[in-house]
Amino acid sequence: MNLARSFPLFAIVFAAAYAILYVVAVEYNLALFTYHPALEEFGFLVEKPKEGPAMYWYGWMATSALGAFAVAAIASWLPAGWARRVWTGWSWAVPLAVMLVFGYLLRGFFIR
Amino acid sequence: MIVVLLIIHALLAVTLLGAITHQTISVWLPARKAAGSFVGRMRAVPATSYANAIVVLYLATATLGAIIYPSYRLTVRVVLQQLEMYAANGAFELKEHFVAVGLGMLPAYWYFWRQPLASDYARTRAVLTALLAFVVWWSFLVGHILNNIRGFEV
């Protein structure tokens, strides 16, 4: 199977951008949509809980995926020379850092 | 219906756990000679052959988890809060975020495991695999523990 030459850069940038956008989306509640499980209803963007809790997790992932796709698509247009210089390790280093950030943000659950 | 989906979710998770554990061990502790023992054979598996299956299983398990998540939110999380089981609650919060971050790594993981394997990417491939393995193990154990806490509503 032939892949576009730009796919490696797309994949690296997507992994890094998605992780960053996800933690930002969670921290600032930038959900693309809200799900109300008790009502089985979706709402556009962030909505307050109606009956029962509101779920933003799906919306956070959608926000991050769309944003990361856009960033990675733009990065794919970089000249080949620049693209070759991008460290492949960003694809794991940024997600790892974001996971550690979540550990820090949620520490209150474990140190009560 | 939720119980059926939960069991399928668990079965997919077990399959994913087995696949990614084999791949991680074979990448980080490759067999240097012909494998004779159980552990030796585990180290000697062809790691590349697991990559596509892991991507499909990760997506399937996460999708099914997302489908049953509302039920958790309505029935299990409330109980955890009432019982003041903060660590269990927090462990699940971490699980949802780790799984989400893992989803974003899948395109890169898939690319770096494409045949023929580029030796330049060996480190990246190994670390991506280990990180996904951590996410899968964390998610599996947390899901299992929470299921034990709540049990089935019979």
- Distance CA(A60)–CA(B66), nearest Å, equals 13
Residues from chain A contacting residue B89 (CB–CB below 8 Å)? 109
pLDDT higher than 90, residue B104:
yes
Please report the DSSP string for chain B in residue order: -HHHHHHHHHHHHHHHHHHHHHHHHHHHS--SS---SHHHHHHTS-GGGGHHHHHHHHHHHHHHHHHHHHHIIIIIHHHHHHTT-HHHHHHHHHHHHHHHHHHHHHHHHHHHTPSSPPGGGHHHHHHHHHHHHHHHHHHHHHHHHHHHHH----
pLDDT, tens digit, 9 for 90 and up, residues A18-35: 999 999 999 999 999 999
- DSSP 8-state class, residue A108: G
Q: Which residue would you say has higher pLDDT here, B21 or A78?
A: B21
Q: How close, in Å, is residue B35 to chain A by CA atoms?
A: 31
pLDDT higher than 70, residue B35:
no
Q: How close, in Å, is residue B106 to chain A by CA atoms?
A: 8
Determine the Cα angle at A80 with ends A23 and A75, to 5°: 25
Q: Which residue would you say has higher pLDDT here, A107 or A5?
A: A107
Residue type present at position B24:
T
For the entire predicted model, the pTM comes to 0.92
Beta bridge partners of A41: A36
pLDDT value, residue B34: 67
Residues from chain B contacting residue A89 (CB–CB below 8 Å)? 123-124, 127
pLDDT higher than 50, residue B154:
no
User: What is the rounded average pLDDT for all residues in chain A?
Assistant: 91
Give the range among A5-9, A10-14, A36-40, B115-119 with minimum mean pLDDT: B115-119
Helix (H) or strand (E) holding A94: helix A90-105
Determine the Cα angle at A33 with ends A28 and A37, to 5°: 105
ipTM of the complex, rounded to two decimals = 0.92
pLDDT, tens digit, 9 for 90 and up, residues B66-81: 999 998 888 888 888 8
Give the residue-averaged pLDDT of B16-36: 86
Residue A51: both structure tokens together: 């009956």
- Residue B46, CA atoms < 13 Å, CB-side half-sphere: 6
Calculate the CA A11 to chain-centre distance: 13
Helices B122-150 & B51-71, crossing angle to 10 degrees? 30
pLDDT higher than 70, residue A3:
no
pLDDT, tens digit, 9 for 90 and up, residues A46-86: 999 988 899 999 999 999 999 999 999 999 888 877 777 88
Measured CB to CB, residues of chain A less than 8 Å from chain B are 3, 7-8, 10-12, 14-15, 18-19, 22, 26, 35, 37-38, 40, 52-53, 55, 57-58, 60-61, 64-65, 68, 88-89, 91-92, 95-96, 98-99, 102-103, 106, 108-110, 112
User: What is the rounded average pLDDT for all residues in chain B?
Assistant: 89
End-to-end CA distance of chain A: 53
pLDDT value, residue A18: 98
pLDDT value, residue B40: 77
pLDDT value, residue B30: 79
